[in-house]
Amino acid sequence: KNEVEQSPQNLTAQEGEFITINCSYSVGISALHWLQQHPGGGIVSLFMLSSGKKKHGRLIATINIQEKHSSLHITASHPRDSAVYICAVTETSGSRLTFGEGTQLTVNP
């Protein structure tokens, strides 16, 4: 069992829909990261959070430390949001990142 699990693996939505990607982890963490990777592109850090909720534009990330769960929400989705979204955690046992396998999001016009 992976230490970081994401769901769903693939997600297709229509433009304008509200999207949720989930991340569960089984280790103690000091921070959780949401990353975005466009096809053939580099990796961009969207959020780093250790508690509560953060918002940037149409993106919202939440974390529940007790339940070891985080969600990434996209409001009013747009085709340019199509990308792979990756959840990663920094474990309390060290400074290394452990990654989920990613969620492939496709937003159709």
Q: Which residues of this protein are in contact with other proteins, per CB under 8 A? A: 30-31, 33, 35, 41-45, 48, 86, 88, 90, 94-97, 99-102
Q: Tell me the closest approach of the beta carbon of residue 97 to other proteins, in angstroms.
A: 7
Q: Tell me the closest approach of the beta carbon of residue 101 to other proteins, in angstroms.
A: 4
Distance CA 53, CA 41 (A): 27
Phi/psi for 61 (5° steps) reads -120, 135
Nearer to other proteins, 77 or 105 (CB): 105
Q: Check: CB of residue 24 under 8 Å from CB of residue 5.
A: yes
Answer positive or negative: Cα dihedral of 53, 56, 61, 63: negative
Nearer to other proteins, 13 or 84 (CB): 84
